[in-house]
Amino acid sequence: MSVVEHGLVVTGDIFGETDLTIKGVVKGSVYLQNANLSIEQSGYVEGEVRADKIIISGEVMGDVTAETLLQLTATARVKGNLRTSKLAMAEQSLFSGGLVIQEPDPVELGIRDFKALTEDDYAKLRRWRMRNNIE
């Protein structure tokens, strides 16, 4: 796991494939592939954020895309559009922007063509929806 510590300011985009915790300031976008992102209460990101699982306790000024889970804690402040397949949002969190709850990418489930689903594919999709609490 990598950490942008409190008191540190990073200017520019961050790309990676390892979990990241932001306690300081990032003035640029954060793109993590197959990794999780945590923005602590003291953390601030000014740019787009993309990761597998994202937990926000600090502030984000930009669009947020979480592949599997987006969690906004009570101290979260987000100004931008949210896109995720599962959202957990504390009552005291603040969010200004659009929200898209998306179905999983067919590749995630090993389904190649949604138009020609087999019974096994339907079962995989049902299990995924139940696991992610999607009606």
List of E strands, the chain: 2-4, 9-11, 14-16, 20-22, 25-27, 30-32, 36-39, 44-46, 49-56, 59-61, 64-72, 77-79, 82-84, 87-89, 94-96, 99-101
Beta-bridged to residue 77, according to DSSP, are: 59, 94
pLDDT per residue as tens digits for the range 86-132: 999 999 999 999 998 876 554 455 555 556 667 776 677 667 666 65
Gap between the Cα atoms of 81 and 41, Å rounded: 20
Helices (H), 1-135: 106-109, 119-131
Q: What is the pLDDT of residues 9-66, one digit of tens each?
A: 999 999 888 999 999 999 999 998 888 999 999 999 999 999 999 999 999 999 999 9
Vertex 91: Cα angle to 127 and 85 (nearest 5): 25
- This prediction has a pTM of 0.76
| Cβ neighbours, 10 Å, residue 54 | 25
- Given pLDDT bands bounded at 50, 70 and 90, which one contains residue 81? very high
Domain borders along the chain are: 2-102, 104-135
